[in-house]
Structure 1
Amino acid sequence: MIDFNNVELVGQSTPDPLRYAFARKAAPHSGGKSAPVPPPQVQSALQMALDSVPTQSGARCLYIHIPFCRVRCTYCNFFQYASSKTMIDDYFTALMVELKRKAAQPWTQAAPFQAVYIGGGTPTDLSAEQLRILGRAIHDHFPLTPDCELTLEGRINKFGNDKFESALAGGFNRFSFGVQSFDSKVRRAAKRLDDGDVVIKRIQELVAYNSAPIVIDLLFGLPYQTLDIWQSDLEGYLASGAHGVDLYQLIDMQGLPMHRMVEQGKLPMPADTPTKATMFERGVQFMATHHQRRLSCNHWAKDNRERSIYNSLAKTTAEVLPIGAGAGGNVGGLQMMQTRKMEDYIAAINADQYPVPMMMRAAPGGELTSYVKAAFDRGVVAKRTLNLIVNEDLFGRLMPLFQAWEKNGLVKLTEGYVTLTLAGQFWNVTLAQAMIRTIGMLNDASQSDHVAA
């Protein structure tokens, strides 16, 4: 029997579920179970997958990782290497070898890619010529859909017109910048470079090119970031003219520089969960007031130029081909994270091996897990889609969970849909994890009943 009074599954019964339904949000992503591939089989398993030509191919993306930053932000868990021209040049040489090798595989050439994302790290730390070469190599070696979205992520700092124009010449058609806050004190405390007015001015200059959508990230809950400063950050988005914005909450992770600096008294405590919930509420209201088009629980667009294809597809069953040290992806039912160690990465490329130290086989039901994650990211679960995936009335079996959520103010139930309330949107990852966990318990119960029978 499943306890649908368990607060870890259904939340607290409280008059203020936005702020107090759960104790805290612990992780930025939700996921299911998978089984490891024995290390001696990793190379052959991946090669077999890349040698295959799928009879049917769904959505697919390409992810390329650039693991360098000039400065480590205090909240960042992705920092790998300080930017160095020599190290970047050596890495870029190896990266291009891996890119061309993987592009030539039968799996890669079997179907076009809908989206490409260059992430990091700080991809804009590449030189102008490297950005142009990278973009052209993607176009020259990979099959892309005519409307393929090519995103370059990075910082405003030292991203001059030479780099922007070279990236455009290389074929990049979307740019995403981690602004986090326009307040200079908040930015300095987070180790962000440049004052806020410099950032706004530079975004305005890039938007004025009218050559590609410019998208920014804003982070709420940072040290020194009051509600008034958060309001100014939201207004800064409009003033910048950016085509889209992501509003992310700060997740407190042990072991990061920010945590140590707070413990040492060098930074004030970041916002608690109720305050971050208030910031989220204000952000949602602000976007509605200014008629921004909502693409997900956390992402808005000013106009139709911003599509956010990669971010949407990466949360579904789309396959993602990873390239670069620290890149993650999934191909042919294999989930992998490439080595983060630079020397190991370059050694693997020079040895004509895949730089993958460990790999997982997707657990049965991966399509279902992907749908749950994508549905909660969008803010609505559809009965018809859910039931089609499993070919049974799973929606009906989950109804006690949905009803408990509705009672606690997290969702609204209508004919065939579960729609997240504002509180549910804030806790969407927590709810997705709870649904995945509940489905697992339902399946375990069904198997036990079958064995007993």
Structure 2
Amino acid sequence: MFEIDSSDENLVGLSTPDPLKFAFCRKKSAHAGGNMHFVAQDQVQQSLASALETVNENTTKARCLYIHIPFCRVRCTFCSFFQYASSKKMMAEYFQVLMEEISWKAAQKWTQSAPFQAVYVGGGTPTDLSAEQLLQLGHKIRSAFPLTPDCEITLEGRVNRFNDEKFESALEGGFNRFSFGVQSFDTKVRRSAKRLDDGDYVAQRLQEMVAYNSAPVVIDLLYGLPHQNLQNWKTDLETYLESGVNGVDLYQLIEMKGMPMALSVEQGKLPHPADTATKSSMFKMGVEFMAKHHQRCLSVNHWARDNRERSIYNSLAKTTAEILPIGAGAGGNFGGLSVMQSRDMDTYIKAIKARQFPVMGAMHAAPNAHLINSVKAAFDRGVLAKRTLNQAANAPYFEGLMPLFEAWQKNQLVKVNEDYLTLTLAGQFWATTLAQKPYSNYPKQ
């Protein structure tokens, strides 16, 4: 059934006394992926239209909504998502067309056939919208789409210029979760990443929003940035705890060519970011810190202070859910098709005005997408159950992959028994890398 070369170090990792640091060369991607193939170009519009005109028969499948706001005051040096500077005129024009796209897609049969468990408004910097726009967007989401009674509606953004008026308007509009990209509380580190506010102000502002006690507030912290070390990383973790926010994601910096940070390092304006070995030490410190302070682990990189933080969108959208994309630069998948909407503003606006999908192309989901997504979800949680894998495959895949699992265990990346594969600390650090490995070994279904 399987062809597994347990001596292939690219597949099983290196045999090393310190697998946390040296099991693989480096993490190359933020997310695991699978194989897909393109829809013929002359069939893209009709295929997408047909998908949204079809009533969803599988009402038990999770679904999410993603809305993209492609504006930022400045571009962070590590960011690959920057599209447009936050111009009030351009944002107003975009917002009007975004409302049109929401109305158009919300009215489709597929959209109305089942409720959405989570909505995520991301960017870009959605908090650069005005208080009035945030209120209008929240009301529009709640009135246009079928939502579960406990639907999580997240507004992503920055603390910068997100004042009480905006926060209260977002709450009134129906947003019930707020996610802020803090990255670091250390002002020197923040400046290297082109973050706008001093760390002390960010911590203070977070405490002010938490004091409302109206919705969970969560933050992202990034490790491996220039000027970052184990000492100020420890301070970042402690400041998270002191801030009172409801949860935190710990993400490692992925070195991507072409980013402003890489150019600044090359020109000598910034020191080199941390290497993989140092980032692995930061990850270990983060995991041990969260355990010491009894933070509840929701995934291999996300923790909650209390039961208020659920992280529904992240747990679903990265893995098993269908995602309806809205906005320039939004990506998603529905009806067996995956798309990325155009990032060009003129192209996007022209397409929506014509009730055309603003995409260059579309892809069919991989034949074994459900299996791949089940593995991604399990590795994100840190545990793969035999029952889950075999049910997704409708075949004894867990047993078939046992030679690979045992090779990983020998290299201290997992612990495996007859029912479960559990990631070790090293396995959690390399979780995305490991999740990608079995794909080439799955037989075609």
Q: TM-score range by the shorter chain?
A: over 0.9
What residue number does 2:341 align with? 338
Q: Alpha-carbon deviation of 1:315?
A: 2.4
Q: Which runs of structure 2 are paired with 1:93-112 in the superposition (5 Å)?
A: 93-112=96-115
TM-score (structure 1 length as normaliser) = 0.97
Does residue 206 of the first structure (1) align with residue 226 of the second (2)? Answer: no
What residue number does 1:451 align with? none
Does residue 143 of the first structure (1) align with residue 146 of the second (2)? Answer: yes
The one-letter code sitting in structure 2 at the alignment partner of 1:298 is N
What residue number does 2:162 align with? 159
Q: Alpha-carbon deviation of 1:414?
A: 2.4
Q: Which runs of structure 2 are paired with 1:9-408 in the superposition (5 Å)?
A: 9-57=11-59, 58-408=61-411
Q: Alpha-carbon deviation of 1:437?
A: 2.5
C-alpha distance in structure 1 between counterparts of 2:268 and 2:440, whole Å: 39
The one-letter code sitting in structure 1 at the alignment partner of 2:26 is R
What residue number does 1:450 align with? none
Q: Secondary structure at the match of 2:299?
A: coil
The one-letter code sitting in structure 2 at the alignment partner of 1:435 is P
C-alpha distance in structure 2 between counterparts of 1:6 and 1:344, whole Å: 45
Q: Is the 8 A contact 1:187 1:195 kept in 2?
A: yes
Q: Alpha-carbon deviation of 1:96?
A: 0.3
Q: Alpha-carbon deviation of 1:354?
A: 1.3
Unaligned runs of 5+ in 1: 448-453
The one-letter code sitting in structure 2 at the alignment partner of 1:126 is L
The one-letter code sitting in structure 1 at the alignment partner of 2:420 is Y
Q: Alpha-carbon deviation of 1:337?
A: 0.4
Deviations 1:356-408 (A, max 9, x none): 21100001011001011111110011101101111111111100000000000
Moved more, 51-60 or 285-294: 51-60
The one-letter code sitting in structure 1 at the alignment partner of 2:179 is S
Deviations 1:139-175 (A, max 9, x none): 1110000000000000000000000000000000000
Q: Is the 8 A contact 2:4 2:403 kept in 1?
A: no
Q: Is the 8 A contact 1:372 1:436 kept in 2?
A: no
Q: Secondary structure at the match of 1:357?
A: strand
Deviations 1:419-440 (A, max 9, x none): 000000000000001122332x
Q: Alpha-carbon deviation of 1:2?
A: 3.0
C-alpha distance in structure 2 between counterparts of 1:342 and 1:256, whole Å: 21
What residue number does 2:10 align with? 8
C-alpha distance in structure 2 between counterparts of 1:14 and 1:156, whole Å: 42
What residue number does 1:413 align with? 416
Q: Secondary structure at the match of 1:205?
A: helix
Q: Is the 8 A contact 2:320 2:377 kept in 1?
A: no
Q: Secondary structure at the match of 1:117?
A: strand
Q: Is the 8 A contact 2:4 2:404 kept in 1?
A: no
C-alpha distance in structure 1 between counterparts of 2:227 and 2:320, whole Å: 39
C-alpha distance in structure 1 between counterparts of 2:192 and 2:56, whole Å: 49
The one-letter code sitting in structure 2 at the alignment partner of 1:44 is Q
The one-letter code sitting in structure 2 at the alignment partner of 1:89 is A
Q: Secondary structure at the match of 2:25?
A: coil
Q: Is the 8 A contact 2:413 2:426 kept in 1?
A: yes
C-alpha distance in structure 1 between counterparts of 2:437 and 2:319, whole Å: 18
Aligned length: 442
Large movers: runs of 4+ above 4 Å: none
C-alpha distance in structure 2 between counterparts of 1:274 and 1:435, whole Å: 25
TM-score (structure 2 length as normaliser) = 0.98
Unaligned runs of 5+ in 2: none
The one-letter code sitting in structure 2 at the alignment partner of 1:296 is S
Identical amino acids, percent of aligned pairs? 67
